[in-house]
Amino acid sequence: MKFDKQEILEKIQLFYENYEKENSSEKLYLYKQSTFLLFFVIMTLKKVYKFKAMHRWLENNSKEALEIGFTTSIPVRTTISRRYKSLENHLPKLIEFISLSVNYIDEQFETKHQFVDKSLYKAEGNLWHSKDQKNGTVPKGLRNIDKEATWSKSAYHGWVFGYGLTVFCNKYSFPIFAEVETASYSESKIIDRNEAKIFDSNINSLTGDDGYTNLLRIKNFWKKGIALFTSALKVKPTNDFKTAYKELIKTKEVKKHFIERKTSVEPFFDLSKKIIGQKGKLSLKGLKNVKTCLLLSVLIIQVAMIFNYFSEYPFREISNIVSIFT
């Protein structure tokens, strides 16, 4: 079964319109937000990130522009830029909405057991060394830097100047929720600010790496009936609770969660970086732009997996959806 471009766009549009109805989020715009969403999905798949180039594409592809909803005129470059930034407010909610919309269909979309991790993406342009950044000084002659990016160390890539994408997914790599912050932003803070949402969701377990270890958080999750599994490398068994937790994460059942995390979240980031291109190096500056860019990659993976499921393609194969737009 061959993928149909129009069917994919219509499905994305339907998801967004249903999300709008539930969230009453639509404002009166000359151009509908769903039209811009479709446009930016296409631009992401084509790896067109500069707003001037996006505007030029609309000028040179009037038929396609009409098909996605630009029926009266095409937006100017500044409007494209402004609407791109505004999507960062909707995309995390839309991704979550889509996940909840399909989680009843099959085990491949289930949300009972989730896995969380963060991956770093290199900022566009030159490096702004941490010492200069802390002092707020830009060395003479240094151009083309992203002044909103920050530094963080990755176990896989070493020190990275850029941004971080945090994803909650299931064991099949299907994304359930995602957030984007600068690279140095704490993974622990993202858990904390989403704690109420996690508690309200129908989830049995959440598995992360040692960066998510917090004994008070583990206890609070446990009281809500949610098992928070982390490697707890720095935790020493000095009391009953610590001893019990250290023994728990050594069990066969919990080790299975750690294995599934490695085979779910890490492959997900590989897919995201394939969509972004340039081995995950960004082509946009500024947190709002980067948020939209990275969250669009998550949305595209979500939609690709849904179509793969119904088309009986390999679940994580995104080349099918990418190829029909490029």
* Tens digit of each residue's pLDDT (9 = 90 or more) over 149-188: 999 988 777 899 999 999 999 999 999 999 999 999 998 8
Q: What one-character DSSP code corresponds to residue 202?
A: -
What confidence score (pLDDT) does residue 25 get?
A: 55
Find the mean pLDDT for residues 81-100: 95
* pLDDT given for residue 24 in this prediction: 67
For residue 287, pLDDT over 70 is answered with yes
Which residues, including other chains, have CB under 8 Å from residue 28's CB and lie 6 or more apart?
A: none
- Would you tell me how many other CB atoms lie within 10 Å of the CB of residue 33? 19
The helix (run of H) or strand (run of E) holding residue 206 is strand 205-207
Q: Is the dihedral of CA 252, 253, 258, 260 positive or negative?
A: positive
Residue 278 pLDDT: 83
Predicted pLDDT at 326: 78
Question: 217-229 burial by CB neighbour count: b if 16+ within 10 A, else e?
Answer: bbeebeeeebbbb
List Cα–Cα distances, 215 to 17, 222, 249, in angstroms: 41, 10, 13
Interatomic CA distance for residues 175 and 168, integer angstroms: 6
Percent of the chain with pLDDT over 70: 97
pLDDT at 79: 96
Where b means 16+ CB within 10 Å and e means fewer, 53-83 reads: ebbebbeeeeeebeebbbeeebbeeebbbeb
Q: Is the pLDDT of residue 36 over 80?
A: yes
- In DSSP notation, 207-257 reads E--GGG--HHHHHHHHHTT-EEE---TT----SHHHHHHHHHTTSHHHHHH
**pLDDT beyond 60 at 271:** yes
Q: Which fold has domain 99-266?
A: Nucleotidyltransferase; domain 5 (3.30.420)
Model confidence at 2, pLDDT cuts 50, 70, 90, reads: low
Which helix (H) or strand (E) element contains residue 117?
strand 113-122
Q: Give 1 or 255, the one with higher predicted confidence.
A: 255
- Which pTM value belongs to this model? 0.94
Q: Does 26 have pLDDT greater than 70?
A: no
Hey, where are the domains in the chain? 5-95+292-323, 99-266
